[in-house]
């Protein structure tokens, strides 16, 4: 065993075949273009490999605390890889539009839309087919090979990580423990906080009655917004409209983990949620950087694969998100000072205990 043999460097370094060279006129920057995109595919492979571990941990009906730590570590690694993918755009942008034009037409009709691994990554994270923007009036996988479409369909038939996280959150035991009911305690704390705020506004000596009415109306609107998570009927209405995709119990559990993240038993769950949000956010940043890079390289030209170019790619950064529900939890956060205290029984069950 030696370094070149272990990494199969002879084969690896022979895989950069320049189309421009085959045409008898080498375009210097084509080498960079190939290396960048081959590297992307290698990192996609690693992300899928990390998702294998994470999804195996969340596949069961119980997640051991030690395994949760491994899942968090793998998710945080995915974030670091995605950050590197964003950074690779900086390298690619050292190629100017004029440099790209030297070999661009040789690539038609190939396109990044034909990346099976990236489509698998999206599906396994939880991006649903019905949530996708239409791509040239075709399904998102229309440009893939028949075998690749079968792989996508198989992934869609199984639970995504988003589905598994929903089920895991819904099993959170601390929402209803002993005599403690988190939903009721949170709603009471919320009402007390808003009543206090309304009282301060009503008695404020430097606000006009009109200003007071505006402020109080704003607080009342905020209270109605909280019903979207706390009230069964309102939640069902919003979910039917597509505003929520997670189950109500999972959303309330996520809110609990956000609010009580300093408790040891909640911290691992909070880190997992945070890592998922980081994955979603960083992937959106990569989509945006990719869109801006395409605009810089092509202007308003149609992409090599026939896509609408910048406009489509820019829209996916906003639309193609798997964990918007977790971002929406920030809507329902209240200050630590207003948090309902946990009953002693619940507090003790969420902390480490050491016995000699």
pLDDT of the residue at 105: 92
Domain of residue 158, CATH code: 1.20.58.480
Distance from C-alpha of 151 to C-alpha of 159, rounded to nearest angstrom = 14
pLDDT of the residue at 305: 53
Q: Please give, one letter per residue, the 3-state secondary structure of the chain.
A: CCHHHHHCHHHHCCCCCCHHHHCCCCCCCHHHHHHHHHHHHHHHHHHHHHHHHHHHHHCCCCCCHHHHHHHHHHHHHHHHHHHHHHHHHHHHCCCCHHHHHCCHHHHCCCCHHHCHHHHHHHHHHCCCHHHCCCECCECCCCCCCHHHHHHHHHHHHCCCHHHHHHHHHHCCHHHEECCEEHHHHHHHHHHHHHHHHHHHHHCCCCCCHHHHHHHHHHHHHHHHHHHHHHCHHHHHHHHHCCCCCCCHHHHHHHHHHHHCCCCHHHHHHHHHHHHHHHHHHHHHHHHHHHHHHHHHHHCCCCCCCCCCCHHHHHHHHHHCCCCHHHHHHHHHCCCHHHCCCCCHHHHHHCCCCCCC
pLDDT digits (tens, 9 = 90+) for 81-94: 999 999 999 999 99
The predicted model gives 343-351 an average pLDDT of 89
CB 88 within 8 Å of CB 284: no
CB 298 within 8 Å of CB 310: yes
Give residue 302's pLDDT band: very low, low, confident or very high (50, 70, 90). Answer: low
* Residue 2 belongs to some domain of the structure: no
Report the mean per-residue pLDDT for the chain: 92
Q: What is the pTM of this model?
A: 0.90
304-to-108, 113, 268 alpha-carbon distances in Å: 5, 10, 44
Percent pLDDT > 90 in the chain is 69
* Residue 144 belongs to some domain of the structure: yes
* Residue 199 belongs to some domain of the structure: no
* Residue 298 belongs to some domain of the structure: yes
pLDDT of the residue at 352: 83
> Nearest to residue 71, comparing CAs of 234, 336, 273?
273
Whether pLDDT at 14 is above 90? yes
Percent pLDDT > 70 in the chain is 96
What domain range includes position 288? 10-172+245-328
Whether pLDDT at 306 is above 60? no
Distance from C-alpha of 109 to C-alpha of 51, rounded to nearest angstrom = 31
* Residue 87 belongs to some domain of the structure: yes
Distance from C-alpha of 148 to C-alpha of 139, rounded to nearest angstrom = 13
* Residue 80 belongs to some domain of the structure: yes
Whether pLDDT at 355 is above 70? no
* Residue 136 belongs to some domain of the structure: yes
Whether pLDDT at 307 is above 60? no
Look at 14-23, 49-58, 180-189 and tell me which has the smallest mean pLDDT.
180-189
pLDDT of the residue at 301: 65
Q: How would you class 42 by CB atoms within 10 Å of its CB: exposed for 0-12, middle for 13-18, buried for 19 or more? A: exposed
Whether pLDDT at 345 is above 90? no
The predicted model gives 126-138 an average pLDDT of 87
Whether pLDDT at 243 is above 60? yes
* Residue 189 belongs to some domain of the structure: no
Q: Of 151 and 352, which is predicted with more confidence?
A: 151
- Cα torsion 171, 172, 178, 183: sign: negative
Q: Domain count for the chain, please give it.
A: 1
318-to-137, 280, 281, 283, 305 alpha-carbon distances in Å: 19, 11, 10, 11, 22
The predicted model gives 307-321 an average pLDDT of 83
Query: Could you tell me the end-to-end alpha-carbon distance of the chain, in angstroms, rounded to an integer?
Result: 49
Q: Of 290 and 224, which is predicted with more confidence?
A: 290
Give residue 152's pLDDT band: very low, low, confident or very high (50, 70, 90). Answer: very high
pLDDT digits (tens, 9 = 90+) for 111-130: 888 999 999 999 999 999 99
CB 332 within 8 Å of CB 255: yes
Whether pLDDT at 303 is above 60? no
Whether pLDDT at 100 is above 90? yes
> Nearest to residue 348, comparing CAs of 137, 101, 178?
178
Distance from C-alpha of 100 to C-alpha of 28, rounded to nearest angstrom = 10
């Amino acid at each position: 065993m030696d370094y070149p043999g272990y990494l199969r460097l002879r084969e690896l370094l022979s895989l950069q075949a320049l189309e421009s060279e085959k045409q008898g006129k080498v375009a210097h920057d084509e080498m960079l273009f190939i290396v960048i995109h081959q590297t992307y595919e290698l990192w996609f492979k690693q992300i899928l490999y990390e998702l294998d571990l994470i999804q195996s941990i969340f596949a069961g009906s119980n997640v051991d605390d030690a395994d949760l730590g491994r899942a968090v570590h793998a998710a945080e690694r995915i974030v670091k890889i995605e950050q590197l993918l964003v950074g690779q755009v900086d390298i690619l942008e050292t190629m100017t539009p004029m440099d790209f034009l030297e070999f661009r037409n040789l690539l038609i009709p190939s396109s990044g839309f034909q990346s099976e691994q990236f489509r698998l990554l999206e599906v396994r994270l939880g991006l649903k087919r019905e949530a996708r923007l239409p791509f040239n009036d075709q399904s998102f996988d229309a440009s893939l090979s028949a075998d690749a479409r079968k792989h996508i369909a198989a992934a869609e038939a199984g639970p995504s990580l988003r589905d598994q996280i929903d089920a895991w959150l819904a099993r959170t035991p601390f929402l209803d423990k002993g005599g403690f009911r988190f939903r009721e305690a949170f709603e009471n704390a919320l009402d007390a906080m808003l009543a206090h705020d309304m009282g301060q506004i009503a008695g404020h000596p430097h606000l006009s009655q009109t200003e007071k009415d505006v402020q109080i109306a704003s607080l009342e609107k905020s209270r109605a917004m909280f019903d979207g998570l706390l009230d069964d009927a309102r939640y069902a209405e919003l979910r039917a409209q597509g505003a929520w995709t997670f189950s109500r119990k999972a959303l309330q559990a996520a809110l609990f983990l956000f609010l009580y993240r300093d408790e040891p038993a909640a911290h691992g769950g909070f880190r997992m949620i945070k890592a998922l949000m980081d994955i979603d956010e960083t992937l959106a940043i990569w989509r945006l950087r990719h869109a801006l890079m395409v605009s810089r390289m092509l202007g308003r030209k149609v992409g090599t694969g026939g896509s609408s170019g910048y406009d489509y790619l820019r829209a996916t950064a906003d639309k193609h998100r798997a964990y918007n529900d977790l971002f929406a939890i920030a809507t329902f956060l209240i200050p630590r000072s207003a948090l309902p205290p946990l009953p002693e029984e619940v507090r003790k069950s969420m902390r480490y205990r050491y016995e000699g």
